[in-house]
Structure formats: structure tokens, C-alpha cells
Chain A
Amino acid sequence: MATKKEAARVLEAVDRKYELALILQPELLSSAVEKKLKEFEAYLSENGASVDMKDIWGKQELAYPIAKHDQGIYVIYNVTLPSTFNKELDEHLRIDKDVIRFLLITVADDYEYQEYEEEVTPAETEKVDDKASKSTSHKADDSPKKAEVKDKGKKADAKSLDKKLDSILEGDDLKV
């Protein structure tokens, strides 16, 4: 019968992929956030972990208040950790006062990080457009969708422009 200690010894050598989501408290300035994350990455590399991917979402509204904060700075990490280290990391993050919430989960070896955009229904886009025309301050999430729409417009324009150019060129040829 294998004891718990033996099982731990078997697990010792394994490196696993993890995804780590942090919510930092919103009062931190951007410079402080960078410093904080640098320190955190140094702490990770000290303990034999490697950072594969890092994504800072920025300040976001929380769905419910956490530790009397209504906003939080979201940071997502994809890391490879030795499997014995995750308990220590849990403890480290739990004690940290700037981290108000965190989530550490294992992911599959072939996991690829994906970004998800907020869905915008046609009615909402109109509203957003109205807001944009009225006030310059709006969410940054809307900009890529608008860009796509603009691109479509550009493509259509390009096609019509090509036709025009062709006709002009032909006309020139005829004239010359």
C-alpha cells in the first residue's frame, strides 16, 4: 500500500501547465502594478516556474463588491510550475494584500489562450455610436468591432475604387 509520502515523491518531478488569474486592488497606479507584477514574476522564477503568457486586462467593474472594492485590475498568466509549488503559491497569494482574489487552475498541455470580446447586438451598436458622438469617453472594448466595420467599408470602397481605376485607365488608353 502506497503511503501519502510516497505518492508525493512520485509527483515531485512533474511540471504542469497552469492558468493563474489575479484581481489586484484598483487603487494601485499603473507603475505600481508593473512593479508588483515584476516582483511576482521574480518570485515565480525563484521557485522554478516559467511564465508562458501574460495578459493585463486592466481596470474592470466587478460583478459584486470584493473587500469593499467595486473595481479590480485583472491579470491573466499562463505558467508552468513544478506541481509541488502550487500550495506555496496559494499561500503567498492569499497573504498578499494587493491581490483581492485569485484563481489557479490546471490546463491541458495543448491549451492556447484565447481572448473573448463582449457581444454587441445591432441595437447596442447604435446606442454606442450615439454615445460616441455625444461623449468621447467610452469603453475600449468597442473599438475593435468598430474597426472591423470600418475595414468592411474600406474593402467595399476598394472594390469600387478598383473598378473606377480600371475604367479610368481604359479611358486613358483610349484617349492616348
Chain B
Amino acid sequence: MSKVIFSTKQKHPVGKRRCTFCTNQMRDIDYKDVPTLKHFMNGFQKIKGRYYTGACLSHQKKLSKAIKRARHLALVPFTN
């Protein structure tokens, strides 16, 4: 699988933002994929909002579910 580069910096104005998961054609987000999940958590290990991730609604929901599953299995901390 080719390496996907995730960035949560706002390069585009609100109307022109595109979901990184949609553009990379990732249908599901796996809770075992810790390096990807860490991109979408801030310094306090909280889940970043849609304003910062730029994800579409369905992908943001999948993302938060994956992070919560990873937290349950102690792959990712609850707090820092």
C-alpha cells in the first residue's frame, strides 16, 4: 500500500476543503492503524474536531469510533 500523507493544517478556505480519507479512497478506518489515528489527536490526546481534520461527516464518525476502540485496547491513551 502506498504511503498516505495526512495533514490537518488548513491549506484551503472552508468551502474548498476536501476530506483526506475520501481523496485517498479509504472506505474504512481501522482501530489498529495507530500512526494514522495519532494524526487526528491533539497534544492532550483528544480527538480533533472536523474544523481541524477537514474530514467529511461520515469519515469523522468512523475516525472517532476507531480512536475510541483503540483507547479501549490501550493502543492510544485517553489523556496525556
* A interface residue numbers (CB < 8 A to B): 21, 23, 62-64, 66, 72, 74, 76, 101, 103, 105, 108, 114, 116-119
* B interface residue numbers (CB < 8 A to A): 1, 28, 30-36, 69, 71-78
A114 pairs with B73, CB closer than 8 A: no
B78 pairs with A64, CB closer than 8 A: yes
| Cross-chain pairs A/B with CB under 8 angstroms, 21 sampled | A23-B73, A23-B74, A63-B71, A63-B74, A63-B76, A63-B78, A64-B74, A72-B74, A101-B72, A101-B74, A103-B31, A103-B69, A103-B72, A114-B30, A114-B32, A116-B30, A116-B32, A116-B33, A116-B34, A117-B35, A119-B35
Contacts of A119 in B (CB 8 A): 35
Given known contacts A103-B69, A105-B69, is B74 in contact with A118 (CB within 8 Å)? Answer: no
Give A108 to B1 CA distance when docked, in angstroms: 20
Give A16 to B76 CA distance when docked, in angstroms: 28
B35 pairs with A21, CB closer than 8 A: no
Give 14 A-B pairs besides A103-B69, A116-B35 with Cβ atoms closer than 8 angstroms: A23-B73, A63-B71, A63-B74, A63-B75, A64-B74, A64-B78, A66-B74, A101-B73, A101-B74, A103-B31, A103-B72, A103-B73, A114-B32, A116-B36
